[in-house]
Structure 1
């Protein structure tokens, strides 16, 4: 349990990194976008400004998830980080709609000013910074198995791509295509909405106890191979923050005593932790009659 809390605490470092980076880059993009007449860079800066709020939501969710179990939350508060990711998706979607609206209205302006090249180089610089932040956060998310941090990392990556798109639009406008800048802003808006949808889909899937069937079959295969397990009667799993909770019903030789059956459950728990990084496994044992064969030999079941 202590290791789980330590992992979540590490995730907070990634959230703080995103917050600080977004504050600096959003101020830079909005300022240069305004003075250089770049709609794409301004849209990108607005996106980063609201990403600050989304990153704060992730940070708060991680902080809450570190709270120990209490009488109302026997499983702990780990799902708070999934809720934070869901909130972040709503914020990102609202920003995407706003960016789309502003870019669309730009086409009704009689004269679209060509942005300065300083906006293009600013976009490239910001793209490099955000991609580095993405690399850090995605490694951290995989290490601590955090959905909230993975959502933050996906947001970082989309921001890097958005800045590259802004660069392309700004450069294109230098060649007599000023309308390419608001076109790029539209693409930026769609990318923001797509990222928000992906995070929303993953978060709601986890909150409604969804679990990848292929991974569940792999878990079932691991349990079936444990010595003494004669049959896997049922297996279920769900996501709880950065944890995976597994409920399994197994059939064992009805001639085994309580101590021998308990040894099998400990073996299952150890293998789940070693192979799948699952520390919480609830195991129910059903006694069944088995045919007499070398595979089902009672001596083997006791190993």
Structure 2
């Protein structure tokens, strides 16, 4: 429960911060006709949506298990992370189109010191939000918090590019403004692809990492009473996994002894990171080669 409280705070801080930045960027951007600042503002609009989705997804994923979902609702975190990736694609396309039109039509913006002030304020705010979100994401293994942190990191770079275009605009180098808008759109699209892939891997029930699986296999065969390992498979449950292990033991073992062997296997595998549960099936070695 502690994880979800901290992820919720990440989402709320992102919503508040991005709404304030959104208002300031779009007002100054449209008044000055700076494509880079407008693109940055639209990106903040996408950030508001992403933080809102994070809040909703965190609420659902924190719901405890029930009869229909015995292992909880952890996958909601990845479903909503995928929604965030789609929103990033939409924002990237909108910014790309607007910036390309500006570049082709050689549109100029009106320099204002407020463009510099807003860009610097955005950079400082996003640095604070980034370090907060990434700390929570890494500490509690939350893809939603990490996705928000990546979004904040992107914004630091994008606002820095916006600041660069504004400074160059002061020296009448206007084409950089549109180019920065294009670069911002491409970077947002790249982030969307990255988040989409991370979510896709889990939602498609990809198996556990092969290196970790080999370590588990080596560990299982050293347990007393195990004749050989038949199979070991896994099913993602949110960030964690449920392991299904089949081993062969002496067919003459009693049920009690076989159960003791399976209990040792389960205890050993639960020491690995991100293992939610272990189900062990015991086969008779003499009849199951």
Q: Does 1:115 align with 2:119?
A: no
**Mean CA deviation greater in 242-251 or 74-83:** 242-251
1: distance between equivalents of 2:165 and 2:56? 36
Q: Does 1:273 align with 2:270?
A: yes
Residues 225 and 261 of structure 2 are in contact (CA less than 8 Å); yes or no, is this contact kept in structure 1? yes
Q: Does 1:162 align with 2:158?
A: yes
Aligned match for 1:246, one of 243, 265, 269:
243
Instruction: Tell me the CA shift for residue 112 of structure 1.
Output: 1.0
The alignment partner of 2:234 has SS state of strand
Provide the residue aligned with 2:30 in structure 1. 34
Q: Aligned pair in 2 of structure 1 residues 104, 250: CA closer, same or farther (>3 Å)?
A: same
1: distance between equivalents of 2:268 and 2:24? 50
The alignment partner of 2:67 has SS state of coil
Instruction: Tell me the CA shift for residue 255 of structure 1.
Output: 4.4
The alignment partner of 1:276 has SS state of coil
Instruction: Tell me the CA shift for residue 46 of structure 1.
Output: 0.9
1: distance between equivalents of 2:215 and 2:251? 26
Instruction: Tell me the CA shift for residue 263 of structure 1.
Output: 3.4
Instruction: Tell me the CA shift for residue 154 of structure 1.
Output: 1.7
TM-score (norm 2): 0.88
Instruction: Tell me the CA shift for residue 153 of structure 1.
Output: 2.0
The alignment partner of 2:283 has SS state of strand
Residues 247 and 281 of structure 2 are in contact (CA less than 8 Å); yes or no, is this contact kept in structure 1? yes
The alignment partner of 2:172 has SS state of coil
Report runs of 4+ in structure 1 exceeding 6 Å deviation. Answer: none
Residues 19 and 44 of structure 2 are in contact (CA less than 8 Å); yes or no, is this contact kept in structure 1? yes
Residues 145 and 243 of structure 1 are in contact (CA less than 8 Å); yes or no, is this contact kept in structure 2? no
Cα RMSD after superposing both structures: 2.3
Instruction: Tell me the CA shift for residue 195 of structure 1.
Output: 0.5
Residues 248 and 281 of structure 1 are in contact (CA less than 8 Å); yes or no, is this contact kept in structure 2? yes
Residues 39 and 103 of structure 1 are in contact (CA less than 8 Å); yes or no, is this contact kept in structure 2? yes
Residues 269 and 279 of structure 1 are in contact (CA less than 8 Å); yes or no, is this contact kept in structure 2? no
1:12-56 deviations in whole A, cap 9, x for unaligned?
222222222211222222223233432112211111112211221
Aligned match for 2:89, one of 93, 98, 106:
93
**Mean CA deviation greater in 222-231 or 103-112:** 222-231
**Count of aligned pairs:** 285
Residues 234 and 248 of structure 1 are in contact (CA less than 8 Å); yes or no, is this contact kept in structure 2? yes
Provide the residue aligned with 1:149 in structure 2. 145
Q: Aligned pair in 2 of structure 1 residues 232, 133: CA closer, same or farther (>3 Å)?
A: farther
Structure 2 matches for 1:1-303, cutoff 5 A? Answer: 5-211=1-207, 212-288=209-285
The alignment partner of 1:274 has SS state of coil
Listed as ranges, the gaps of 5+ residues in structure 2 are: none
TM-score (norm 1): 0.84
Residues 106 and 175 of structure 2 are in contact (CA less than 8 Å); yes or no, is this contact kept in structure 1? no
